[in-house]
Amino acid sequence: LPLLRKVCYAIGGIPYQMTGNAIGFFLQIFLLDVVQLEPFYASLIIFLGRAWDAVTDPVIGFLVSKSPRKKYGKLVPWIACSMPFGVLCYCMMWSTLSDATPTSLKFLWYLFMYSFFQTCMTCHHVPYSSLTMFLGGTQRDRDSATAYRMGMEVFSTLLGSGIQGQMVGNYHARGMNGCYVSNETQPNTSTSLTDSLENTRRAYVFASLVLSSIYCLSCLILIFGVREQPGKVHLDAIWRLPFASCLRMVVGHKPYTQLLCGFLFASLAFQITQGIFAFYCTHAAGLAGKFQHLVLIMLVTASLSLPFWQWFLGRFGKKTAASLGLAVSLPMVLAVEREVLQSDSLVPSCSCGGVGVTDASVGLSVPRSMLPDTVDDFMLRNPSCLNLEALFYSFYVFFNKFAGGLAVGISTLSLHFAGYHAGDCTYNPSVILTLQLLMAPVPISLLFIAIIIFCLHPINEERRKQ
């Protein structure tokens, strides 16, 4: 497999991880503090958008499997056609409507833009994930391409969260500083807070334009740099099988369902922490102007650690790497919650870096690298069932997005029941306690379940060699 094709393929993974992490870190605080929606409406937007996205994943995966092969392949046209709509919706999603707009219209606007953007990303990511099986070469070549992809995806998380965090973080800090002096007898306090809010809104729009440009460029490199190779063609196997039959076959494969369950709990744990992190630092830890730097340190450390985890994965196997990596993350998550509250030094930064190592390099990347082995195992057991790769990958993406919807829905609804109100400068102790619980005890419990599931995964190195 040529090096250029591996690199172009890896670059094609930037949009999904870049926009996904920017949304994961900042959409919640954007809806609550910038748009100033109540937590109930914000949680509905994110949860319903993720639920819609999760439902469309298997459907789009099935449509991709059934789509005929064109001159440029079967998968690449999906990526090319979804790109302009995805770029447009991403920019519109971060724009802010007038304050005079009724809450119901704001709710419908952000729900539609968020849902439609997620659908566009599904039309990009499901074919892109399936493209792993159509790059050509052997299993070792696919593992090598996956390693390039993992590295680029970790870099893209750094790119998305770093760019957006650096552009909007200082404005959040200025808003909190205005909050601190709002009780003083200053006649221009209200005007200052309004100006700070408008500057924050403009910063989000500029950040969306920058990330959308990178999104567009990455897709073009993938489209023109990767030549999709024809796989095994057995049209009768897919055209004669209805969707329900394909669904039963895929879900009935035990190694696949175990992998999905383990990934669901790990992803849910990290996405709860990710979604609440900026809000936690801003409102509970007093680090409104520093959380974007903590995010940057976390993701840089994750990027630098990737070669080690890749070596560990090759030396001890994927199953061991996933289980051990998640086990290491347990004390790290607790350390972040404690040290961010108690320290204003680099100690929490180091802990955040430790979480970033396990999060990006192990918690999500290693289980993803186990997916091609699971698909190969299914094909060995069912040699007559071909062209189902897109369905396997779409369900994997479905569980990731389902976990994200649950994570943000749980955290935002928890704030609603704790008594959080948009625009408040001080919060009652129940809000602070809720943030602390969401930052450590809940993710640790979920990670522990994921570790048990990965330890019981049936595909080990001996089975992989077969």
| CATH number of the domain where residue 376 is located | 1.20.1250.20
Alpha carbon distance 450, 445 (integer Å): 9
pLDDT of residue 235: 40
The pairs formed by 240-243 with CB atoms below 8 angstroms and a separation of 24 or more are 241/385, 243/62
Asked if the structure places residue 246 within a domain, the reply is yes
β-bridge partners, 70: 73
Which 3 state secondary structure label does DSSP give 242?
coil
* 113, 85 contact by CB (below 8 A): no
**pLDDT, mean over the chain:** 77
Residue range 13-29, pLDDT digits in tens: 899 889 988 887 788 88
Alpha carbon distance 308, 315 (integer Å): 10
Most trustworthy range by pLDDT among 174-178, 189-193, 459-463:
459-463
Tokens describing residue 109? 């606007």
Tokens describing residue 449? 């379940």
How many residues can be counted in the chain? 466
Largest CA distance in the chain: 78
pLDDT of residue 239: 43
Residue range 317-331, pLDDT digits in tens: 778 888 887 887 777
Crossing angle between the packed helical segments 429-439 and 254-283, to the nearest 10 degrees = 140
Helix (H) or strand (E) holding 252: none
pLDDT of residue 315: 82
* 325, 266 contact by CB (below 8 A): no
pLDDT above 70 (res 271): yes
pLDDT of residue 416: 76
Which 3 state secondary structure label does DSSP give 73?
strand
Alpha carbon distance 40, 247 (integer Å): 34
Opening angle at CA 355, ends 47 and 300, nearest 5: 100
Tokens describing residue 222? 């993938």
pLDDT above 60 (res 276): yes
pLDDT above 60 (res 236): no
Alpha carbon distance 50, 400 (integer Å): 10
β-bridge partners, 73: 70
Asked if the structure places residue 63 within a domain, the reply is yes
pTM to 2 decimal places: 0.73
Place of tokens 């500057």: 199
pLDDT of residue 219: 93
Alpha carbon separation from 124 to 12, 32, 60, 249 (Å, rounded): 9, 29, 10, 24
Alpha carbon distance 300, 158 (integer Å): 7
Asked if the structure places residue 233 within a domain, the reply is no
pLDDT above 80 (res 48): yes
pLDDT of residue 67: 78
337 versus 225: the higher-pLDDT residue is 225
Question: Which bin fits 38, alpha (ψ -120 to 50), beta or left (φ > 0)?
Answer: beta
pLDDT tier, 237 (very low <50, low <70, confident <90, very high otherwise): very low
Asked if the structure places residue 342 within a domain, the reply is yes
Alpha carbon distance 48, 113 (integer Å): 12
What is the amino acid identity at position 276? I
Report the domain count for the chain: 1
pLDDT of residue 296: 73
Residue range 390-439, pLDDT digits in tens: 677 777 777 777 777 778 778 877 877 877 766 666 666 787 788 878 87
* 42, 182 contact by CB (below 8 A): no
Cα–Cα nearest to 19, from 211, 166, 167, 201: 211
**Which one-letter DSSP state was computed for residue 305?**
H
Q: How many CB atoms lie within 10 A of CB 68?
A: 6
Alpha carbon separation from 34 to 279, 417, 464 (Å, rounded): 12, 21, 49
Percent residues over pLDDT 90 in the chain: 12
pLDDT tier, 234 (very low <50, low <70, confident <90, very high otherwise): very low
pLDDT of residue 238: 43
> Domain limits at 261?
3-227+241-465
What is the amino acid identity at position 58? P
Work out the burial of residue 155: count CB atoms within 10 Å of its CB; fewer than 13 is exposed, 13-18 middle, 19 or more buried: buried
Helix (H) or strand (E) holding 399: helix 389-418
What spatial distance separates the first Cα and last Cα of the chain, rounded to whole Å? 22
pLDDT of residue 232: 53
Asked if the structure places residue 445 within a domain, the reply is yes
pLDDT of residue 119: 92
Opening angle at CA 285, ends 281 and 289, nearest 5: 55
362 versus 83: the higher-pLDDT residue is 83
